[in-house]
Structure 1
Amino acid sequence: MIFNLKGLKIGRVCTVLSKNIIDYILIKKNINIVIKRSYDVLYKKDSFFYKHTGYPGGIKKIKNSLYIKNKGMNNYIKKTLIGMLPKKKKYKNIVNNIIFE
């Protein structure tokens, strides 16, 4: 599957990707996902990305713009996609096989 992300919102992109991944996994096919122009994705610069350390009261929040500046847009798309998929081992392995161009 090939996706061109120019001018699309990050939430809509990840919902479409997650639905397609789930559908293809049910058919038991190997999926090769190629994402083009991931740097042109639209996102809210003033919203936050939340992360929990595992300790009581250990929730941390980072602005999206700062997270993308430090880790890159590709990692941001992968993290958002992992959050929308079911929490099973096979789905995490598929997200690691996504190719960004």
Structure 2
Amino acid sequence: MEKYTFKNYNLKKKKIGRICSLIANDIINYSLLKIKHRIIISNYSKVIIKEKEVFYKHSGYPGGLKKITTLFFVKKHGFNGLITKTIEGMLPKNRFYKKNIFKSIVFK
């Protein structure tokens, strides 16, 4: 039976960028040490978000820049999607990228 190390984060009244950078840092450190880990996130619906924060994505065609505000993103994907998207943006893009993000985070 595999042993996992668990780390709990309570997001109640915390700013999303600050707490997600801490979570991303823990994911990187645990994966470099090759420790089996799970990060448990609780009270994620009570996180502080700004209305003016914007996600950008580009289709690759001229004039294909799209802007999505955080409020629209939360309506479409929920707070789970918002938190995973911000953590994904803070992780290094290497071969462990997808494995690290999807296997390590547990929403509660």
Q: TM-score, normalised by structure 2?
A: 0.86
Unaligned stretches of 5+ in structure 2?
1-6
**Where in structure 2 are the equivalents of 1:14-33 lying within 5 Å?**
14-33=20-39
With 16-25 and 49-58 compared, the bigger mean Cα shift is at 49-58
Greater strand proportion: 2
**Where in structure 2 are the equivalents of 1:41-52 lying within 5 Å?**
41-52=47-58
**Rg (Cα) greater in structure:** 2
- Percent identity between matched residues is 44
RMSD, aligned CA:
1.2
- Number of matched pairs: 101
Q: TM-score, normalised by structure 1?
A: 0.92
Unaligned stretches of 5+ in structure 1?
none
Point out 4+ residue stretches in structure 1 off by more than 4 angstroms. none
